[in-house]
Amino acid sequence: MRSIKARTTGKAKRAVKQAIIPGYGQKGMGWLTDTKKEAYNKVYKKTTFSIFDLFK
């Protein structure tokens, strides 16, 4: 079982960040934190496909 500290610290940190940083934790905010990775992911998601996508 995880310790009480491990169970509560993350929740507290997220609450503080949500209060300070506008848009924290919302979908599509990755370009603020890591622009290069966000650009790569956008291109990757648009250009790659699975064989199962052909049957949609």
* 27-51 pLDDT, tens digit each: 888 888 889 999 999 999 999 988 8
Take residue 15 and report the two structure tokens written for it. 């609450």
Residue boundaries of the structural domains of the chain: 4-55
Q: How confident is the model at residue 13 (pLDDT cuts 50, 70, 90)?
A: very high
d(CA 21, CA 46): 29
Distance CA 51, CA 37 (A): 25
Q: What is the pLDDT of residue 42?
A: 92
2: left (phi over 0), alpha (psi -120 to 50) or beta: beta
